[in-house]
Structure 1
Amino acid sequence: MPHEVRAVIAMKKDAPAEVQPVLVPDPGPGEVLVSVQACGVCHTDLHYREGAVSDDFPFLLGHEAAGIVEETGPGVTDPRPGDFVVLAWRAPCGSCRACRKGRPWYCFDSRNARQPMTLLDGTPLTPALGIGAFAEKALLDAGQAVKVDPAARPEAAGLIGCGVMAGWGAAVHTGQVANGDTVAVIGCGGVGNAAIAAASLAGARRVIAVDIDDAKLDVAARFGASHSVNSRGTDPVAAVRELTGGHGADLVVEAVGRPETYLQGFHMRDLAGVLVQAGVPAPGATIELPFQELFSRGGALKSSWYGDSLPSRDFPVLIDLYLSGKLDLGAFVTETVALDEVEVAFERMQRGKVLRSVVVL
C-alpha cells in the first residue's frame, strides 16, 4: 500500500519549489523505505530546480539526508528496520567495468530504487541524485542506506551524504593529502570547509583558506585553517606563495567551480603540486591553460566526483570522527528549517548567508 507523504517538488524550470503530497511505494526486492529525519539544502538541489542538471521534470528534491529504516523489501538483509542510516547517491553496482577493476568509487551504474515515487495522479518523479529526500519518507536501493552510529544527530549526520563527503574526499582520496603538506582551499563553503577539516586532521602543516568573504574565512579557522587569504583585495596566488616559502602549495582544492578560481589554483601549486577540482562548474564554462606551463610544472590536475568516496567505507568513519569530537559536523549547520521553507533556504544560500540550512522533519 503506497504511503502518502509531503515532499518538496520542482514542477518546471525556474519555478519555485512547492510542497505537495506524493506517493511512496512499499519497498520491492532490494529496496528500503526510510523515514527521513533531516535533509541538507544543497546547491545541487537548486541546480535541479533551475533545470541545469536535466529537463526530467518534475523533480523530487533533496539528497543530503539521514533517517531511520522503516521497511525493507525481499532479499534485503542489511540495513534492517530500525537502523539509523545516512543516504548515499553512490551505491556501487558491483558489475560495471569500474567495479570489476576494484574501483567502486568510480561506479558507472550506481543503484537506485526501481519503483518510482509519484504525484497523486501517478506522474513519476525524478529523485534528485537518485534519492529525493525532501520528503517524510523516501524509497531507495538498500545500498544507498548506509548504517552509522545512531548517537549522531540527524541534522549533522545527513551532511556527510553529499557536501561534507565531497570536500573531505577531495583532500583525502583525490588529493591524497599527507602529513607535512601545505594545502590551499579556494572557496570556504560546505565543500571547502570539509576539505580544510580533512587536511588539518591529516597533519598538513599549513592549511590556507581562500575566499572573498571575511566571515567565511573566520568560519574556516574553526575547521582547521591555519592561515586565510581574502582574494577580493589580495592576489591569492602571490599570497599563497608567500605563505609557503615562495614555492606554492603541495595540494590545492578548488571548491568554487569557476574558471578564474581554477586558474588561480593552477598557478598557486608548487612544482609537481596537485590541483583538485571539487567545485561544480556551470554548464558551458570553459578554461584555457598555458600549455608550456602545464608541461613544465608537472604534478597533476584532478577532478573529484563525490570525493572519490565509497559511502559504505567512509560514512561510518566520518560519523565516528564526529562523535569523538575530531570533526565538527554540527558547525556546518547554520539553521534548521521546515519542509515549506526550502525556497527561503535557497535564497539564503544564493546570498551566501548560510553554510548549510537543514530541513528537519
Structure 2
Amino acid sequence: MAQHVRGIVAPGRGAPVEVRTIVVPDPGPGEAVVRIQACGVCHTDLHYREGGINDDFPFLLGHEAAGVVDRIGEGVTDIAPGDFVILNWRAVCGNCRACLRGRPQYCFNTHNAKQKMTLEDGTELSPALGIGAFAEKTLVAAGQCTKVDPAASAEVAGLLGCGVMAGIGAAINTGGVGRGDSVAVIGCGGVGDAAIMGSRLAGAAKIIAVDISGAKLEKALELGATHAINSTIDDPVEKIRELTGGNGADVVIEAVGRPETYEQAFYARDLAGTVVLVGVPTPDMKIELPLLDVFGRGGSLKSSWYGDCLPSRDFPMLIDLHLQGRLDLGAFVTETIALEDVEKAFERMHAGDVLRSVVVL
C-alpha cells in the first residue's frame, strides 16, 4: 500500500519551496523505500529550485541523506528492512563497459527507481538526483542504498552522499594525493574543505587553502590546511609557488568551477603535477589555454565526478574512519533544522555563512 508522507517540493523556477504531502508507492522489483533520518541542504538542491539543472518541475528536493530501510521490492538481496544506509545517486548497473572492465565507479548506466512518487493529485515528482530525500520516506533503486555502521549519527553519515564524498574523493580517488605531497585547494566551501580533509587523511605534507573569504580560510585551517591564501590580497599562483619552493603544488584541486580559478589551478601546479576540477561550471563557461603550455607542463588535467567514488567501497570505509576519530564529519554540520526551515537554509547558504544545514526528521 502506498504511503503518504511530508516532503519539500520546488513547484516552479525560483519559487519558494513548499511542504507538501508526498505519495510513496510500494517498492517494485529492485527498489526500496527508505525512512529518512537526516538530509543535508546542498547547493545542488538550490540549483534544482532555480531551474539550473532542468525544467522537470515539480521537484522533490534533497539527496544528501541517511536513514533506515523501510520496505524492499522483489529481488532485492543486498539490503533488508532495518538496515542503516546512506543514499547515493550512482546505483551501478554491473553490465556496462566500465563495470565489465572492473571500473564500476565510472559506470555509464547508473539508474534510479523506475516508479514515480507523486503529489496527492497524481502529479508526478522529479526527485533530486534520483533521490528526493527532503521527505519522511523516499523511493529509490536498491543499489542507491549503501549499508554502513549504525553507530554513526544520520546527520553526519548522510553528508557522504554528495558534497563531502565529492571533496574527499577528488583528493584521494581522482587526485591520487599521497604521503608527503603538496596540495592546493582553490575554493573552501563544503567540497573544498572536504578535499582538505581528504588530503590530510592521505598524508599530504603541505595543504594550501585558497579563498576570498577570511572566515572560510580560518575554517579551512581548522580542518587541516597548513597554509591559507586570501586571493583578494595575494596572487594565488605566485603564493602557491612561493610556498612550494618555487615549483607549484603536486596536486591542485579546483572546487569553484570557474574559468579564472581553473586557470589559476593550471599554473599553480608543479611540472607533471595534477589539476582536479571538482567545482561545477555552468554550460556557458569556456576556458582558453595555450596548447603549448598544456603540452609543455606535462602531468594530468582531470575532472572528478562524485569524487570518482564507489559507494559500496568508500562509504563504509569513511564511516569507520569517522567512528575511529580520524575523520571529523561533524565539523561540516553548521546547524540542524526541520523540514519547514529549508527555504531559510537556502538563504543562509546563499549568504555563505554555513557549511551545511542538515534537516533532521
Please say whether Structure 1 and Structure 2 have the same fold, judged by a TM-score greater than 0.5. Answer: yes
Is the Cα–Cα contact under 8 Å of residues 32 and 142 in structure 1 kept in the other structure?
yes
Rounded to whole Å, the distance in 1 between the matches of 2:286 and 2:177 is 27
1:26 corresponding residue in structure 2: 26
Give the 5 Å matches for 1:24-63. 24-63=24-63
Q: Secondary structure at the match of 1:71?
A: strand
Alignment of 1:252 with 2:252, yes or no, is yes
Q: What do residues 205-255 of structure 1 show as CA deviations (whole Å, max 9, x unaligned)?
A: 100011111111111112211111111111011110010000000000000
Q: Contact 1:8 / 1:134 at 8 angstroms: preserved in 2?
A: yes
**Moved >6 Å (runs of 4+):** none
- Cα distance in 1 for partners of 2:212, 2:326 equals 27
Cα shift at 1:56: 1.0
* Contact 1:96/1:108 (<8 A) preserved: yes
Give the drift of 1:73.
1.1
Instruction: State the match for 1:324 in structure 2.
Output: 324
- Residue 223 of structure 1 is matched in structure 2 by 223
Find the counterpart in structure 2 of residue 153 from structure 1: 153
**1:67 paired residue number:** 67
Match in the other structure for 1:122: 122
Offset at 1:292? 1.5
Given that residues 13 and 49 in structure 1 are in contact (C-alpha distance below 8 angstroms), is that contact kept between their aligned partners in structure 2? Answer: yes
Q: How does 1:44-193 map to 2 (within 5 A)?
A: 44-193=44-193
Structure 1 residue identity aligned to 2:212:
I
- Residue type of the partner of 2:319? I
Q: Could you give the per-residue CA deviations for residues 327-354 of structure 1, whole angstroms, max 9, x where no partner exists? A: 1000000011111111111111111010
Displacement of 1:10 in angstroms is 1.0
What residue is the counterpart of 1:261 in the other structure? 261
Rounded to whole Å, the distance in 2 between the matches of 1:44 and 1:180 is: 34
> Is residue 299 from structure 1 mapped to residue 299 from structure 2 by the alignment?
yes
RMSD over equivalenced CA pairs, Å: 0.8
With structure 2 as the length reference, what TM-score do the two structures score?
A: 0.99
Q: Give the corresponding residue for 1:11.
A: 11
In structure 2, C-alpha distance between the alignment counterparts of 1:12 and 1:221, rounded to whole Å: 39
Cα distance in structure 1, aligned partners of 2:272 and 2:347: 40
Contact 1:253–1:276 (CA<8 Å) still a contact in 2? yes
1:143-179 deviations in Å (ceiling 9; x for gaps): 1010000010110000000001100110111111111
Distance 1:122 1:10 in 2: 16
CA apart distance, 1:272: 0.6
CA contact (8 A) 1:333 1:355 kept: yes
Query: AA paired with 1:341?
Result: D
User: Residues of 1 paired with 2:8 and 2:60: CA distance?
Assistant: 6
Residue in 1 aligned with 2:199?
199
Question: Alignment identity in percent?
Answer: 68
After superposition, what is the alpha-carbon deviation per residue over 1:275-317, rounded to whole angstroms, capped at 9, x for unaligned?
Answer: 0000011221111112221111111111000010000110001
Q: Size of the alignment, in residue pairs?
A: 361
1:132-151: CA deviation from partner (whole Å, max 9, x where unpaired) = 00000011111101000001
Task: State the secondary structure of the residue aligned to 2:82.
Answer: coil
Pick which of 103-112 and 203-212 moved more.
103-112
Partner amino acid for 1:327? L
- Write the letter of the residue equivalent to 1:86: I
Q: Matched residues in 2 for 1:291 and 1:348: separation?
A: 41
CA distance in 1 between partners of 2:347 and 2:172 (Å):
31
Instruction: State how far apart, in whole Å, the 2-side matches of 1:123 and 1:108 are.
Output: 30
Q: Which residue is equivalent to 1:342?
A: 342
> For 1:44, what is the secondary structure of its paired residue?
helix
The residue type equivalent to 1:293 in the other structure is D
2:358 maps to a residue whose letter is: V
> Cα offset for 1:16?
1.3
Q: In the alignment, what sits opposite 1:235?
A: 235
> Distance in 2 between the 1:127 and 1:56 partners?
10
- Amino acid aligned to 1:101: R
Listed as ranges, the gaps of 5+ residues in structure 2 are none
Contact 1:59 1:128 in 2 (8 A): yes
Q: Deviations over 1:70-100 (max 9, x none)?
A: 1111111221111110000011001112212
- Unaligned 5+ runs, structure 1: none
Q: Are 1:52 and 1:283, in contact at CA under 8 Å, matched by a contact in 2?
A: no
Q: Could you give the per-residue CA deviations for residues 24-71 of structure 1, whole angstroms, max 9, x where no partner exists?
A: 011111111100000000011111111111111111100000001111
Q: Are 1:265 and 1:275, in contact at CA under 8 Å, matched by a contact in 2?
A: yes
